[in-house]
């Protein structure tokens, strides 16, 4: 079932809550520029196995409200805290994909892992999406600048180009259109604002050192968005973490190798 949670006076977050009677909870944080619907192929299967799957649409994306501001990692992680508190969730597994993974890392540091017993980072945009003088493993700064410029000048073309590099294995025309539609659901200002966050000082090197819970890192070796080297850096920086490479996946590993993704997730949680 779906419902809205008020996190600020004028901001409501949309939440999809499947199998709400179950105590084995997985909270999914989607990547840019999608919504909770990106995890459709997990929601199809995991509730059958006894898991309560909760997917929230971050502010500015999907069905959530789209304020003009509030898109830094601190505010987005505070939104996650609000959802966890309102739903009174405990001992959950927090799953973050791409930018959702970066938000999850900030949440674990900023809120000291409140309510979370296990963490899963898949193709996470952390500890830094872009290359920096002391971190040469991300994508080039100008690649993100092109995304921002494209958002302001021709957002549909930008989204189409991004979709073309999201998956590694062949996808149908229908799935390509589906992914494109998810991107269009977001507001253009929130789409650009989160991309600008990648360019700023929102780096997560210190944050990942604060993670205390068992952590599973899933990363496609063909990822063109969050390069596989980011997964290696997270594995080195997070104590009690395990990195599992996905040999036939790009950025959309939850679809490219969905059976393996679901299997590794279930085995980690049990």
Angstrom distance (rounded) from CA 171 to CA 159: 16
CA 175 vs. chain centroid, Å, equals: 19
Q: What is the pLDDT of residue 106?
A: 98
- Give me the pLDDT at residue 171, please: 87
Residue 68 burial by CB count (10 A; 0-12/13-18/19+): exposed, middle or buried? exposed
Distance of alpha carbon 69 from alpha carbon 67, whole angstroms: 6
Q: How far apart are CA 70 and CA 79, in angstroms?
A: 10
Q: Which residues are catalytic?
A: 98, 223, 251
Nearest alpha-carbon partner for 211 in 117, 124, 84, 129: 117
186-237 pLDDT per residue, tens: 999 999 999 999 998 777 999 999 999 999 999 999 999 999 999 999 999 9
What average pLDDT does the segment 92-121 reach?
98
Claim: this prediction has a pTM higher than 0.75? yes
Q: Check residue 169 and give its pLDDT.
A: 86
Mean pLDDT of 116-121: 98
Tens digit of each residue's pLDDT (9 = 90 or more) over 123-158:
999 999 999 999 999 999 999 999 999 999 999 999
Cβ within 8 Å of residue 245, ≥6 positions away: 219, 220, 221, 228, 231
Looking at per-residue confidence, does 22 or 213 come out higher? 213
Residue for token pair 């068992």: 214
Q: Tokens 């002391």, residue?
A: 134
Secondary-structure class of domain 2-269 per CATH: alpha beta
Give the whole-angstrom CA distance, residue 250 versus residue 122: 11
Average pLDDT of the residues of the chain: 96
């Amino acid at each position: 079932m779906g419902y809205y949670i008020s996190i600020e006076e004028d901001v409501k977050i949309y939440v999809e809550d499947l199998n709400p009677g179950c105590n084995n909870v997985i909270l999914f944080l989607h990547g840019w520029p999608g919504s909770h619907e990106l995890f459709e192929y997990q929601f199809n299967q995991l509730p059958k196995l006894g898991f309560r799957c909760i997917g929230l649409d971050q502010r500015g994306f999907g069905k959530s409200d789209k304020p003009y501001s509030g898109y830094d990692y601190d505010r987005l992680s505070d939104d996650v805290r609000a959802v966890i508190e309102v739903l009174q969730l405990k001992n959950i597994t927090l799953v973050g994909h791409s930018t959702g993974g970066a938000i999850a890392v900030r949440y674990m540091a900023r809120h000291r892992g409140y309510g979370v017993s296990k963490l899963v980072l898949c193709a996470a945009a952390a500890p830094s999406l872009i290359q920096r003088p002391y971190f040469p493993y991300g994508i080039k700064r100008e690649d993100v600048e092109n995304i921002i410029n494209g958002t302001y000048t021709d957002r549909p073309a930008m989204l189409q180009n991004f979709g073309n590099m999201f998956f590694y294995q062949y996808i149908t025309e229908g799935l390509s259109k589906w992914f494109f539609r998810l991107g269009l659901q977001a507001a253009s200002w929130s789409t650009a604002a989160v991309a600008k966050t990648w360019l700023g000082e929102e780096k997560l090197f210190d944050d990942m050192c604060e993670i205390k819970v068992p952590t599973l890192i899933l990363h496609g070796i063909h990822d063109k968005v969050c390069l596989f080297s980011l997964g290696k850096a997270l594995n080195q920086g997070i104590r009690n973490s395990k990195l599992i490479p996905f040999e036939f996946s790009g950025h959309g590993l939850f679809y490219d190798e969905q059976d393996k993704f679901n299997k590794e997730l279930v085995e980690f949680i049990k």
